[in-house]
Chains A and B, each alone.
Chain A
Amino acid sequence: MPETGMSEAISAAAADVLETMFFSPVMAEAALDEAMSAPALAARLRFSGGREGTFAVRISTSAAESMAANFLGEETEQPASGQVQDVVCELTNMLCGSVLSRLDSKAHFDLGHPELVDALEAATPDSVSRAFELGDGAVAVFLHLDAKP
């Protein structure tokens, strides 16, 4: 699968998911180094089916908190850390589903359960990555396809 196609699918999925579900429009593409510098939360899942691989999301804690508040409709209260983690996992799930459906809508994919990981572990080697500025922090997305058996 060409890397440009994967990159474009990630960008399109991020714009769609972040704006539609989290009311957090992407301000701009961000440099990965910048997106990796702030304290962050991360989640990762394995997928199988048409292609196998790993999908991970790393999001700065500040962006995750405001995104969770948007998602849950909490205007006054700060969401609890467990809720923020649940929202980050759900974000990972939705982004992954959206990216894979864009890459091949005729394939069949099974998504594993997203798990929280150490923010430093989100970036798997050899993954295609994109980062996006959200205004109050950045989100980075990593897609790794396993070699075909």
Chain B
Amino acid sequence: MAYSVMIVDDSQSMRKFVRRVMDLSGFEVGSCWDAANGADALALLRTHPVDIILTDINMPEMNGEEFVAELERQDVYRSIPVVVVSTDATENRIRRMIEIGARGYVVKPFSPEALRGELERVLGVANA
């Protein structure tokens, strides 16, 4: 099945890269939306509900931590799984993001297989 996805990162190049790596990995993307920060993503979600969200942490306006916390606060969005995609591989940060509501975490740099594996784990896709 193809999933609708939202990619949130302040770097346009990174958003493009994440999309490309999802395709390379064989993860099936139906519709794909992207936003440069948490605030833009929330605005877009109102009209474009998605199956899964991938978000960076370090972003201007509304960072990934504020974004995940806001999704968790709103009943309509709480059920959408969020995977953090960040350069920060420190244990404290990973634990903190999971505590506030993220379901998965992928550290940059990542391989296509690692990204796909984490997305499928979070979505509960059984291994083929």
Interfacial chain A residues near B12, Cβ < 8 Å: 83, 86
Least Cβ distance of A93 to chain B in Å? 6
* Listed stretches A3-11, A13-21, A29-37, A141-149; interface member: A13-21
* Most chain A beta-carbon contacts within 10 A, residue among B12, B60, B93, B109: B109
Q: State whether the Cβ of A119 lies closer than 8 Å to any Cβ in chain B.
A: no
- Chain A interface: which size bin? 20 to 34
Partner of A108, one of B16, B17, B90, B108: B90
Report Cα–Cα, A68/B109, bound state, in Å. 15
* Most chain B beta-carbon contacts within 10 A, residue among A83, A87, A89, A97: A97
Report Cα–Cα, A97/B86, bound state, in Å. 9
Interfacial chain A residues near B87, Cβ < 8 Å: 93-94, 96-98, 101, 111
* Nearest-neighbor residue (CB-CB) of B23 within chain A: A73
Partner of A72, one of B17, B107, B110: B17
Assess A111 versus B58: contact at CB under 8 Å? Given A20-B111, A21-B109, A97-B108.
yes
A-B contact pairs, 13 of them (CB 8 A): A17-B109, A20-B109, A20-B111, A83-B12, A90-B11, A93-B58, A97-B88, A101-B88, A108-B93, A109-B90, A111-B58, A113-B58, A113-B60
